[in-house]
Structures are given as C-alpha cells and as structure tokens.
Amino acid sequence: MEDKIKVIIIDDEAPARRLIANYLASSKDMEIIGECMDGFEGVKKINELKPDLIFLDIQMPKINGVEMLELLDAESLPLTIFTTAYDEYAVKSFEYNTCDYLLKPINEARFEKAINKARAQLQSPHISAAGKQGIRTLLEEGISDNHLDRLVIRSGNHIQVVHCNDLICLEANDDYVIVHTAKDQWLKKQTLKYYEKKLSPQNFLRVHRSFIINLSEVTRIEPYSKDAWIAIMKNGLKVAVSKAGYARLKEAMNF
Amino acid sequence: MRFPGNLSQNRPFLRNYLLFTFVLTGLHFSLLFFRYELTFLQALADGIISVVLLNFMLLSLSFVVRYARNKTVDSLLSIRNSLLAGLLIVIAWLFLSVFILQTLFYNHPFYLDFLVLSRELRFAAGLFVAGWVYLAFFLSVYQQSVKESVERENELRTLVEKTELQALKNQLNPHFIYNSLNSISSLTVYSPEKARVMLGNLSDFLRIALRKDAMHIITLREELENIELYLKIEKVRFEDKLQWEIQNSTEFHSFQIPALILQPLFENAVKHGVQQSSTQGIIRLTCEKSGNDLLLILSNSYDEQFQRFKGEGVGMENVRNRMRLIYGKTALLKIEAQKGVFSCYLTVPQKVNT
C-alpha cells in the first residue's frame, strides 16, 4: 500500500474531475490524494502533499494551469498530464516531452495510454527526470507564443498577480528577476531573456543588460556619462540605459 | 456628403461635352457664314461666343440635376426647378452674349441689325440646346447612380456572404462543445438521467446555432429560449457557480432580434464572470425601451485582481459586424468595464408599422 502512486486532480469543473476520478478507479495502483478547483489551491496542495502525478486543466479561475506550474519549486514539480479542450499548447507540450496532454472530451483508451506512460516514467528514475526536465524547459521557453498580459509571483504563501500595464521595470538579479511596480518589488525565478521574448515589444524594451522597462512609464532620459544614460520613470525610479539600449530607445520612442 | 454621378470626375462625359460644343460652334458658324452671309470674322466670333458661353453656363445645370437625384425631393418639383434654372440660364446667356457681340462689333451697323433681329431665334435655339444638355446630364447621372447602387449592392452581398461564413466558424466556440461533451461523458457514469437531458439540450442548441442564416430575425421570446438552453448546458459544467437573472423581459417578448445575437455576449460573461472567477458569478440581462428600439443590457462582475479588460474578442466583433450588416448602423453595441463590472449595451432597432 505504501507504493501507490499519489495523484492530484486540478480542474475547476466538477464533472471533469469526476470523469478523471472514474477513469482512475480501475487503476488500483493509483490513489487520489486531493482535488483542487483552481491554481492557488493547486500550489498549496502540491507543496503540502507532494503528489507523484497531477492531472492539470489549463483554463482555470485566478491563475491558469501553466502559471501554477511556474510557481512550484523545481523539486516538487510532479509529473504532469494536461487535460484541456484547447489544443493550442499540445504541440509544444509534446515537443518538450512532458508526460502527456489529454484533449477534452477525454477518451478512455487514450487516458489508459497516458497513465501507462506515467507509470513507466515513475518506475524509471531517468525517464522521470527527462519528463520533469521537459516540463522545466517548457516553462522556461513559454508554453504559448502569445505575449504575456500578466505575471504570477509567489512570495512565501502569498501569490501575487501583476498585470503588465502595472509593471515599471524588470531587473536581472542572479537567477531571479526583480519585478518593479509602482508600489512594490517582487522576486520571480525567471530570466530577463525570457521576458524580453514574452513581453509585448510595443510596450517593453530591453535598455540594458540588466533592465527591461515599460515604455509608457518613462518620463525622461538623461545622459549619465559617455555612452551611458539614465531613464527616469514616473514613480521616480532611475534605470541604467546602455549605448545599445539608448539606440533602441531612440528608435522605439521616436526622438 | 458625396454625390453619386459627380460629372466633374466623369472624364468621358466631359470629353463628349467638349466635342458637342465644338460641333455646335461649327454649325453655328456655317449657318451665319454661308446662309446669312456675315463676314468670316463676324460668323466666327458669333459662333464661338454664343455657343461656348452657352455650354459653359449650362454646365451649372449638372448641379441642379445631381441635387435633384440625391435629395428625395418630389420628382415633379425637381423637374420644374431644373426647367426654371435652364430658362434663367438661357435668358442670362442671351443678354450676356448679345452684349459682348454688340461691344465687339460696335462699328458694324449691318451686323448690329442682324443681332437685334435674330434675338428671338437665338432664344429659341438656346432653349433647344439647353433641353438636350439637361437630358444628357440627367441620363448620365442616372446611369452612374444606377451603376453605383449596383456596385454597392454587390459589395454588401459579398460582405454578407463573408460574414455568414465567419459567423459559422466563429460564433460557435468549439471549446464550448468539447467541454460540454466532456461533462456529458462524466454524467453518464454518475447520473445517466442528467446526461440524457443535457445531450438533448446540446442537440437542440446545436441545431439552432448551426443555421447558416446570419440575417435570421426572431422574437425576443425565442431568443431568450435559446439563451436559456445555452445557459442550462453551461450550468452542468459550472454548477452553482453560474447564476443568471433576466429582468423585465415579458413586455418585450414580441420585439424583433437577430437569432443568437446574445449568445456570444453570454458566452463572454460566462467566461469572465463565472469561469475565471473563483466565486459565484451572476449574469444579469435587463430589457428596456430606447425610443422605438429595444435596449438590452448584459452585465457580469469580474475579479479585477486577476483580469483586466483586454479589448474585444472574436465573439464581440462578430456581434458588432452582424448588427452593422443587418441594420446598416454602427455603434449598436457598446461595452464598458468599470469597477469590476463588465456591461454590454445592445441596441436592437425595431421596424415601425410592420
């Protein structure tokens, strides 16, 4: 009994959760240890119960499934089977070899295949490691090609959603990015390069090795030294601008 | 305001008009030179001044003709106005041309006598030419406006066809169907009875939604039945989280509305007000009268902490396009996102007396 595979189902729709539970009933080696209705609950339960496998819906209240995965610590990242009616993430998901991607309505035979794959990954540590690495790469690369419209950040037990319009600037800090808003600063484990790619280029610009700024928050730009400038943001924050950054800024803001 | 059949932009017409003036001048000259035996110079000056001046002045008739075709003025009245304008132009022309010619040839007594004697004849000829010119203008403008209205109609038709195709593709969100089928699959295990009811509802709804006619008009009562069907299907997915209230609709039951125009608006409200919300979401529809028209106000609350208004989605755009196509008016759909409440104001024009 000790060796049962611990499963959490995360989906906001009760019938969808019941269907997965029903499909799992015939697999005696699986045990459902929790069900969650949104991403917040998901983060909490996963950190608390450390499941081996999760079934994860993408479209959910508060934060979506992908944002939820971003918030998990690397070591508590479980094997993930996505369950959604949207096929737009399927291709990337397969590309990065995540555990599996089930399209709703879920076909039972296809479901069996997915859990067999999960069993195999869980029995073999190196396949499992590959699967987890797949998820991590997926999260680093971004699951969708759309531009971000919000950032989801966890600090301790608190989860914060920052809308991109509210961003002042992003600052690189080792493995983290410091997210500056008018009122607060948050730490997010992510690279600046990722945000350079994922934020809308109409509003955001990399002006320095360590900074991306929100163009609509700039009040003025002052020379600092030869080949260095400073952008002064609406909240008074001063941001370093490199020579290349200044050239890009000039082009983007037409001055 | 743009006039149909703007003659100044119709180059072939202007070319023909110039040719007509040239030929007429030639005829006039020949008549005076050979038949009335005026000198070459007299005949030429008389020809050019009389004919060119007349045709130039008659050009202003084209404004009258265009104006008459544009305004929905009583047609008899507009013909009378055109004739009156023509008459005035001819009289003015007669005085002006005779005056110029008299001034030019003040020391040719024979020609001056001829000028005075031929006044009545000139007047008659002027009226005759004015009549033909008026007819030509009228036909040209008429032909052009017919051509333009045919073009406009074709344009509208292709737009309708394109939108109908899009309506078929966009209006019914495939994810809605997939998610509903997933719910049914689940219900077959736990509650086969409910599964059967939902399958019935989904089939009925699909039959209505897959109609091809984007211009189909039904009564508000029928539309609310369709919406009820849609909401019942969604209710199975979201259970108690989804609530709705339809207020004040009975007195407007017989009002006209395009079929399923409300569905994308409700779908949007379900997505942002219920699905993306962690608490119970209520969707409210209120019906009002606005002049002769029906005003429908749909509102839902949303959580500002997690969602921001990001502009119109495909569904909203589709509603807007259909309304514009059916009623030929813009701005029938207004949306507003304020303090965590999203509202759509849909004005549905009503035909009077039909």
Å from B270 to nearest chain A CA? 12
pLDDT for B163 equals 65
CB of B51 closer than 8 Å to CB of B22: no
The fraction of chain B above a pLDDT of 90, given in percent, is 39
**Which pLDDT band, with edges at 50, 70 and 90, does B174 fall under?**
confident
CATH tag for A150-253 (out of 2.102.10.10, 3.90.79.10, 2.40.50.1020, 3.90.950.20):
2.40.50.1020
3-state secondary structure of B51: helix
pLDDT in tens, B301-322: 998 888 888 778 888 888 888 8
Inter-chain touch A85–B182, beta carbons under 8 Å: yes
Residue B173 CA to chain centroid, in angstroms? 30
Question: C-alpha angle with apex B43: B42 to B44, nearest 5 degrees?
Answer: 95
**Domain layout of chain A by residue ranges:** 5-141, 150-253
Name the CA radius of gyration of chain B, rounded.
35
**Domain layout of chain B by residue ranges:** 7-166, 171-348
Q: Say yes or no: A146 contacts chain B, CB-CB below 8 A.
A: no
- List Cα–Cα distances, B187 to A18, A161, B182, in angstroms: 9, 35, 9
Å from A38 to nearest chain B CA? 8
User: Residue A15 pLDDT > 60, yes or no?
Assistant: yes
Q: Say yes or no: B99 contacts chain A, CB-CB below 8 A.
A: no
Å from B309 to nearest chain A CA? 11
* Placement of tokens 């779908």 in the chain: B267
Beta strands of chain A (E only): which ranges?
5-10, 30-36, 53-56, 79-84, 100-103, 150-155, 158-163, 167-173, 176-181, 185-189, 204-208, 211-214, 218-225, 228-233, 238-241
Q: Say yes or no: B185 contacts chain A, CB-CB below 8 A.
A: yes
* Placement of tokens 């969650």 in the chain: A36
As a whole number, mean pLDDT of residues A187-193 equals 91
More confident site: A14 or A2? A14
Q: Give the CATH H-level superfamily of domain A5-141.
A: Response regulator (3.40.50.2300)
Least CB-CB distance to A15: which of B236, B278, B310?
B236
Contact residues on chain B for A59, CB-CB shorter than 8 A? 275
Q: Which residue of A has its CA nearest to B190?
A: A18
User: Residue B168 pLDDT > 70, yes or no?
Assistant: no
Q: Please state which CATH class domain B171-348 belongs to.
A: alpha beta
* Placement of tokens 């921001």 in the chain: B308
As a whole number, mean pLDDT of residues A8-21 equals 96
Q: Could you tell me which residues are beta bridge partners of residue B290?
A: B293
pLDDT in tens, B101-122: 888 888 888 888 888 888 888 8
Inter-chain touch A150–B308, beta carbons under 8 Å: yes
Q: Say yes or no: B2 contacts chain A, CB-CB below 8 A.
A: no
3-state secondary structure of A1: coil
More confident site: B6 or A32? A32
pLDDT in tens, A85-120: 988 888 777 776 667 899 999 999 999 999 999 998
Question: C-alpha angle with apex B219: B217 to B225, nearest 5 degrees?
Answer: 110
Q: What is the 3-state secondary structure (H, E, C) of B54-65?
A: HHHHHCCHHHHH
ipTM (interface predicted TM): 0.86
Contact residues on chain B for A38, CB-CB shorter than 8 A? 278
Å from A244 to nearest chain B CA? 32
Contact residues on chain A for B172, CB-CB shorter than 8 A? none
The number of CA neighbours under 13 Å toward the Cβ of B252 is: 25
pLDDT in tens, B210-243: 876 777 889 999 999 999 999 999 999 999 999 9
Inter-chain touch A61–B278, beta carbons under 8 Å: yes
